[in-house]
Chain A
């Protein structure tokens, strides 16, 4: 009897669940999804000297007539102004080069850790991750002291006698690459490691028994099997790297144009919110493909 009363009193399965889901769901609808709609809306406006500094899309006149003014000029501007085109192309190039170089450095590191003695794997992995726990801004800033004309590298090389004049390695494309590779390296190593670590090493033994040399076995077994890890790592590096702002600003030169710096300048220096929004919308469109690929990997696991 008591059991039955409790049973009747209990909410139907799914009833309470709906409320649990509703909380975070609404939070993300409001603070993650809706903002994109707002950005898209403001990208169709024009800048104005007002607070906030753009012309409202919808206006009412005396006769209560609503008029909607959509301004597509920003998009046209974006596609025709060489500055923006260059910024987009160089951001894509920065992100692609960063992914490639982190892969070249990160793969051997991940491979070494994955094939180390099990007791060594944890500590080695920790060594790669530890720098990640210190401030991003400060780690990027540290490179100024290393790369500048009288910085550590140049002082060392001059002391060695290898060069007589300091190398020009700060505030140019090179220093941007160094900073990006440095900052994003852990994002490449970790997915590669977890993929290589799960690999069945008896496959390599089998290949070796059948007469394959280690390099051959690596190219035809290990490398193809680690492709999911390579894709995962490359996406985790590429997507945030396209919009990177801090590194090009601190380590880049006066001529370094990226989506991040262009958006920031339009927003803060020019106070042109509609153009900044347009730049953001274009960046989101650019990242839809990579993001979908990411979601694709994730939903596979969910099934």
Chain B
């Protein structure tokens, strides 16, 4: 009995070890080879930082990085507003007409294949431009698209935070005569600050990383960093991209990793990611 239990634990540990190697080997190999002097990416010659120097000289990459950062700041801020409202509505307004439709629309982008969102938004923008003369395809269309898909992530973070805020605080303020707007801005919003911060960071890193949707909705003058990276890596390995990748891994990893560590694993648990599973259903047969 004890022997078989240990065998079971041993199997689990082996699988865990395998999963860890599987998850981290690619990232570590990129970081290691970014310091490789050789042009042949996977043949080690000697330590060098020349690819980082080359990166700083690359106008195309620097320009694209600037656009990407601009888009990421704007769309993270936009998704913060739309996502906070959506999360608040979903967790505080339990009954209204169209609630099912609303929650479906907010949460569907979490799983919707990007290629569908990309083509459908582009066709909408083209149609709107024909009818209203707006919007031109540039940074603004990318920002609108990014807000639309990353709002779901902010809403999920906000919703999970609101679930932990006692409604009686809001009710007490109401009883003391505060208007709904005052309750929201003076009570609810300050209590949500940590969730707002991690929601913003999450939206920021999603925007910085998006390729497929951006490729559809961007215009000729608004090429983002992932688009440049993609066009280069389609041609094969590139030591300069390894250096860029290391910078991105460290930057995105540090900023969003540290900022959202606390809520990171809450975001993708099913009940938070829109797949709510009743506790008792999962925990006991009753």
Contacts and interface: CB of A to CB of B under 8 A. Distances in A.
Given A28-B102, A38-B123, A142 B89 contact: no
A144 B237 contact: yes
A224 to B, nearest CB: 8
Interface size on B, as a range, is 35 or more
Contacts of B212: 245-246
Nearest to A10: B179
B123 A39 contact: yes
A273 B43 CA distance: 43
B211 A287 contact: no
B269 A193 contact: yes
A44 to B, nearest CB: 12
B116 A142 contact: no
B121 A134 contact: no
A69 interface: no
A263 interface: yes
B111 A135 contact: no
Interface in A150-206: 150-152, 155, 182, 185-187, 190-191, 193-195, 198-200, 203
A27 B241 CA distance: 37
A24 B215 CA distance: 25
A17 B180 contact: yes
B265 A232 contact: no
Q: Which secondary structure dominates chain B's binding surface?
A: helix
B281 interface: yes
A134 B25 CA distance: 13
A303 B86 CA distance: 18
Contacts of B257: 130, 133
B268 A190 contact: yes
B172 interface: no
Interface stretch (A60-68, A79-87, A291-299): A291-299
Contacts of A30: 124
A248 to B, nearest CB: 11
Given A190-B268, A273-B123, A287-B113, A145 B4 contact: no
A263 B119 contact: yes
Contacts of B117: 35
Interface string A96-131: 000000000110110110000000001011111111
Contact of B121 (A35, A239, A240): A35
B167 interface: no
Interface stretch (B51-59, B69-77, B244-252): B244-252
Contact of B119 (A33, A146, A225, A276): A276
B94 A198 contact: no
B111 A128 contact: no
Contacts of A300: 276, 278
Given A6-B177, A39-B119, A243-B116, 6 more contacts: A16-B181, A31-B121, A182-B22, A225-B283, A225-B285, A267-B216
